Amino acid sequence: MKKFMFLQLVTWIWICGVAHSRRPGSVNIGAVFAFDTVIGRAAKTAMEMAISDVNEDPTVLKGTKLNLIMKDAMCNAFLGSIGAFQVLEKGVAAIIGPQSSAVAHTVSQIADALQVPLVSYAATDPTLSSLQFPFFIRTTQSDLAQMTAMADLIDFHGWKEVIVVFLDDDYGRNGVSALRDELEKRRLRISYKLPLSIKFDLDEFTNLLNQSKVFGPRVYVVHVNPDPRLRIFSIAHNLQMMAKDYVWLVTDWLSATLDSLSPVNQTSFSVLHGVVGLRQHIPDSSKKKAFVSRWIEMQKEGLANTSLNSYGIYAYDTVWAVARAIDIFIKVHNTITFSFPDNYNLSHMVGIGIQLDKLKIFAGGSDLVDILLQSNFTGVSGQLHFNSDRSIVSGGYDIINVNQMGIKGVGFWSNNSGFSVVPHTALKKRKYNRFSQDQKLGNITWPGGITDRPRGWVIADNTKPLRIGVPKRASFVEFVTELPDSHQIQGYCIDVFKKALEFIPYEVPFVFKPFGNGKANPNYDALVKMVDENVYDAVVGDIAIVTNRTMIVDFSQPFASSSLVIVAPINKARSNAWVFLQPFTADMWCATAASFLVVGVVIWILEHRVNNDFRGPPKKQIVTMLMFSLSTLFKKNQEDTVSSLSKMVMIVWLFLLMVITASYTASLTSILTVEQLSSPITGIDSLIASNWPIGYQVGSFAYNYLTDNLYVSKSRLIPLGSPEEYATALQKGPSGGGVAAIIDELPYVELFLSNETDFGIIGQPFARSSWGFAFQRESPLAYDMSTAILKLSENGDLRKIHEKWFCKMGCAEDRTSNSKPDQLHLISFWGLYLSCGIVLLVALALFLLLMIRQYARFKQRQKDVASSSTEPSGIHCSQVVVNFFNFIDEKEEAIKKMFTQCDNHHNPN
């Protein structure tokens, strides 16, 4: 009896163990997606292929059959929900799909309630990865990765603003939100949004595109569902928006659409000419090649009614990922069980063919989700594993360019390596810097057939020119103003602007809009604010770049420095130890000294033969030569002139000395006795500390700076409107109803001081600022204008424009570098010096002629006396010259005695 009971116990244990370890014969999984769509047609065929391959593979599920239950969601959240209920009542371990992000939001809540994993191969909405949907897993790349790639593509080409065309549902809105966030990280922005209803009204979209033509940006990003009819681009083509200057960027919906088209339908490429898009990168492998070949064979046999796209491949790998996870789950749990929750009674809610009372919770759903997230295998799409957002790790994107011949790959993008012309997997083998010059793409054909990068925006055209506000100044009109007669806008700032436009590589039609009445300088803060209020597109003029203005507009590169300076009466006295040298310039002193020396030498030459005072030892003669002309400045000369030629020279020399001496005395007297115009102001601190009134220019930012930053009482500030008022107020001074000083911007002050000598700049410049042109925020023209101004500065054009307007009488800095205004210049006396020089040359010439004549007579007398010449016939020319100078050096009385001796010898009686 005991033996029998023991056998029964062993048999019962064995039966229970076998029953417990036995794998289920089949496992159901569901698939809810839209059958008749670009993605759905490829996904349906791919999933059927995957189910067949899984069931034929003995290494997966090991005898457990995998059943796929498919329901058509028809891209509708309500029908998708019904389909989800219909497959859930069949007891499915997982649901594949849906492909629509909008449907996925609804179905995810149903799957969460019943703890059934929802694995989507096409729902790319980034918000589905939130903690709200813990049972949602994505086996495709999230739009977060795709929009990062799109933002990099926009930034790579240097575009600052884009217009987004998107489907107005969860998929479109959340995708655009991700794009906006990525663009803001790069300081780019979405300027306009063109939402499309899911019904896609052609007339509505045509109106939207027409309205966008007046916007500045020309870069369009299209994020919609796959559309085999390519209606968006057909409308854009009809509106002539697929032409030059337009840019069309698309997300991966277009590549999925084009990959699914048959060769017969690919004639529609003509409307896509120049479009650049993204395609999910699937690396080449033997598995991929085999799968593609198999798909083509199925198409030929009629088993596949569409071409293969990337979503079909992801759908195939999704089935394999679910099958592998279920296999591991069964190994751990041995079976798959469903149960009713506590207080679960829906028997009264039966309808529309759904038996809600049969819906059960998947007891191991959370474990299956964990197993799925740990998946790591090589599929047709490459290595499949998941990140923390329950999406597959991004494999990057292919950059495609559509032309009339078809689709051309121009490069690759990955989050780690950026852009390259080779796949990122190859870049891992060598060093590659995401931010280096290695970033590049192949040649792209843009709309209109151009190969140069479009600038991506149009600032204005002839029908809508740029509205440029200009201040109509009443004073300092050299900078900018409107001529009252011709109404022409001119000035230094206008010339800079027009010259800069020549360096911008596109035409910018514009029209000037004067601001102000011309009787008083306008308020520049109000003028700049009108740019922010879209009254003007830009402001050109002497606009100071200050903080409160930079908060509402964008400024170009500065083209002029504009710090604040203090103007006050200055001390013009120049008394010092060397003040006696100041009346003459250096060249005047040199010319005067040279004239003393030359006159002394000439007088010595003329007097040497006839005046004993100019004879004697060489040392005495040199001293006499140097001192004779100098002594004429102070007293009568000790040496009297005898020669008539010397007296003629002395008359001219004494007249020259009289003029030079009188001029020197007058200049030195002016320097020493000039009125002392002085001011106790030493700088901005001493000016603020005093209680004296301060002048400022009407319309200048100096008023706000003094009151807001330096806390100067408004009662001390006196508005002044013109240079004439400046001079009058400064001359009157604080005691006479004027001002102690004026605070204004440096360019105005330099122009004012160019015509005034009694005033000057006191202390150092402060509140350093610059002038620039103001544009609306984020205006691309501000960047191009800045580049143009830098070129003007580099090539010297900016300096030439400045000289044209402010250097007609010599530039201010040139005038300050020259000698002082009270000094006497050589140019003022060159006529007098020239006259004196001519007299000296004439006197020397006459003297030389007389000496030659006398010497010739003397030699003739000697010939007559002697029977033969005293000089040999072969005498050299140099000896003749020496004899001539020896003759001149003789005293005049000695020469006459020599003539007398010759006469006596010739006539002895």
| Cα-based distances in Å from 308 to 272, 277, 291, 297, 299 | 20, 18, 10, 12, 10
Same domain flag for 415 and 350: no
Helical axes 797-806 vs 492-501, angle rounded to 10°? 160
Q: If we measure between CA atoms, which residue out of 780, 264, 283, 816 comes closest to residue 505?
A: 780
Confidence of residue 818 (pLDDT cuts 50, 70, 90): very low
Please indicate, yes or no, whether residues 94 and 211 belong to a single structural domain of this protein. Answer: no
Whether residue 747 is contained in a domain is answered as yes
Q: Are residues 548 and 498 in the same domain?
A: yes
Query: Any idea what DSSP says for residue 891?
Result: -
* Residue-level pLDDT at 694: 93
**Tokens (6 digits) for 640:** 């009297």
Q: Which residue has the higher pLDDT, 854 or 60?
A: 60
Q: What is the DSSP letter of 909?
A: -
Confidence of residue 437 (pLDDT cuts 50, 70, 90): low
- Alpha helices per DSSP H over 57-123: 77-88, 101-114
What's the length of the chain? 909
Look-up: residue for tokens 């030659």?
Answer: 852
Could you tell me which residue, 601 or 167, shows the higher pLDDT?
167
Decide the pairing of beta strands 694-697 and 717-720. parallel
The predicted model gives 851-862 an average pLDDT of: 71
Whether 481 has a pLDDT exceeding 70, the answer reads yes
Beta-carbon contacts of 295 under 8 Å, excluding residues fewer than 6 positions away, are: 45, 304, 307, 308, 312
Distance (Å, whole) CA 823 – CA 398: 78
Shared domain check, 153 and 257: yes
Give phi and psi for 774, each to the nearest 5.
Answer: -95, 135
Q: Are residues 275 and 329 in the same domain?
A: no
Residues 132, 247 within the same domain: no
**How does pLDDT run across 294-308, given as a tens digit for each residue?**
999 999 988 888 899
- Structural tokens at position 59: 């290494």
Q: Quick check: 409 and 428 in contact, CB under 8 A?
A: no
Residue 154 lies in a domain: yes
Least confident of 544-558, 581-595, 727-741, 855-869: 855-869
Torsion of CA 799, 802, 808, 814, to 10 degrees: -60
DSSP H helical ranges for 89-196: 101-114, 143-156, 170-185
| Residue 348 confidence (pLDDT) above 50 | no
Give every CB contact of residue 375 below 8 A, 6+ residues apart in sequence. Answer: 321, 324, 325, 384, 385, 386
Q: What is the pLDDT of residue 430?
A: 53
SS3 content of the chain, % helix, strand, coil (to 5): 45, 15, 35
Beta-strand runs (E) in 557-598: 560-561, 564-569
| Beta partners for residue 402, in sequence order | 407
Q: What is the pLDDT of residue 602?
A: 80
Tell me the residue range of the domain where 711 lies: 678-768
Most confident of 705-709, 848-852, 898-902: 705-709
Longest dimension (CA), the chain: 206
Q: Terminal CA-to-CA distance of the chain, rounded, Å?
A: 206
What pLDDT is attached to residue 849? 82
Q: What is the pLDDT of residues 416-435, one digit of tens each?
A: 888 988 886 666 555 555 55
Whole-angstrom distance, CA of residue 61 vs CA of residue 49: 16
Q: Closest Cα partner for 413 from 604, 279, 302, 534?
A: 279
pLDDT of residue 886: 65
Residue 347 has pLDDT above 80, yes or no: no
Q: Name the amino acid, one letter, at 637.
A: N
Residue 901 lies inside a defined structural domain of this protein:
no
Closest CA to 178 of 152, 133, 158, 148: 148
pLDDT at 634 over 80: no
Three-class SS state of 96: strand
Where residue 124 sits, what CATH number does that domain have?
3.40.50.2300
Number of C-beta neighbours around residue 452 at 10 A: 9
Count the Cβ atoms, other than its own, within 10 Å of residue 672. Answer: 14
Q: In this structure, is the dihedral angle defined by the CA atoms of residues 276, 279, 283 and 285, taken in order, positive or negative?
A: negative
On the 0-12 / 13-18 / 19+ scale of CB atoms within 10 A, 559 is buried
CA distance 622 to 438: 83
Q: Are residues 482 and 591 in the same domain?
A: no
- Which of 851 and 85 is assigned the larger pLDDT? 85
For residue 856, being part of any structural domain is answered with no
**So what's the pLDDT on residue 871?**
47
Predicted confidence band of residue 19 (pLDDT cuts 50, 70, 90): very low
pLDDT at 863: 67
Residue type, 690: S
Give the pair of three-digit tokens for residue 624. Answer: 């006499």
Q: Judge whether 888 lies within some domain.
A: no
Higher pLDDT: 778 or 636? It is: 778
Residue 736 has pLDDT above 90, yes or no: no
The tokens for 459 are 């600032």
> Do 116 and 184 fall within a single domain?
no
pLDDT of residue 875: 54
* Nearest alpha-carbon partner for 154 in 396, 410, 419, 403: 419
* pLDDT of 440 over the 90 cut: no
Of 731, 759, 793, at which residue does a domain stop? 793
pLDDT tens profile 649-699 = 788 877 887 888 888 888 777 666 544 445 678 788 888 888 899 999 987
Q: What pLDDT does residue 816 have?
A: 38
Task: Read off the pLDDT band of 14 (50, 70, 90).
Answer: very low
**Among 758, 793, 828, residue at a domain's last position:** 793
Alpha-carbon distances, residue 846 vs 610, 832, 840, 843, 882 (angstroms): 15, 21, 10, 5, 20
267-281, 388-402, 597-611: least confident range: 597-611
The more confidently predicted of residues 537 and 819 is 537
pLDDT higher than threshold 70 for residue 502: yes
Within this chain, do residues 245 and 362 fall inside the same structural domain, yes or no? no
Examine the pLDDT at 127 and tell me if it is beyond 60. Answer: yes
pLDDT at res. 656:
81
Digit-coded pLDDT (tens) for 156-179? 998 988 999 999 999 999 999 999
Reported as type and span, the H/E element at residue 837 is helix 830-865
Q: Convert 186-218 to b/e letters by CB count within 10 Å (16 or more is b).
A: eebebbbbbbbeeeeeeeebeebbeebeeebbb
- For residue 449, give the DSSP letter: G
Q: How many CA atoms lie within 13 A of 890 on its CB side?
A: 17
Confidence band, pLDDT 50/70/90 cuts, at residue 496: very high
**What is the rounded average pLDDT of the residues 465-474?**
91
- pLDDT(333) > 90: no
DSSP string spanning 322-338?
HHHHHHHHHHHHSS--E
Cα–Cα distance between 784 and 455 in angstroms, integer?
A: 11
Q: For the chain, what is the mean pLDDT?
A: 82
The percentage of the chain sitting over the pLDDT mark of 90, rounded to a whole number, equals 38
Q: Where are the alpha helices (DSSP H) in 618-753?
A: 618-631, 644-673, 684-689, 702-704, 723-732, 746-753
| Residue 277 and residue 347 in one domain | no
Q: How many domains does the chain have?
A: 5
CA atoms within 13 A on the CB side of 836: 25
How sure is the predictor about 878, in pLDDT bands with cuts at 50, 70 and 90?
low
Q: How confident is the model at residue 899 (pLDDT cuts 50, 70, 90)?
A: low
Q: Residue 513 maps to which CATH number?
A: 3.40.190.10
Residues 51 and 147 reside in one and the same domain = no
What was the pLDDT predicted at 814? 44
State mean pLDDT over 113-128. Answer: 93
799 assigned to some structural domain = no
**Listed residues 734, 768, 802: the one ending a domain:** 768
Q: Are residues 243 and 267 in the same domain?
A: yes
Question: For residue 839, is it within any domain?
Answer: no
Look at residue 623 and tell me whether its pLDDT is greater than 80: no
What integer is the mean pLDDT of 815-834?
64
Written as one letter, the residue type at 175 is G
Q: What single DSSP character describes residue 559?
A: -
Question: What's the CA gap between 385 and 391, in Å, rounded?
Answer: 8
How far apart (Å, rounded) are the C-alpha atoms in residues 291 and 381? 10
Give CA–CA dist 135/117, Å, rounded. Answer: 5
Q: Which of 468, 585, 593, 441 is nearest to 537 (CA)?
A: 468
Q: Classify residue 635: in a domain, yes or no.
A: yes
Report the CATH number that the domain containing residue 764 is assigned in CATH.
3.40.190
Partnered with residue 351 across adjacent β-strands are 354
Non-local (6+) Cβ contacts of 798 within 8 A are: 496, 559, 789, 792
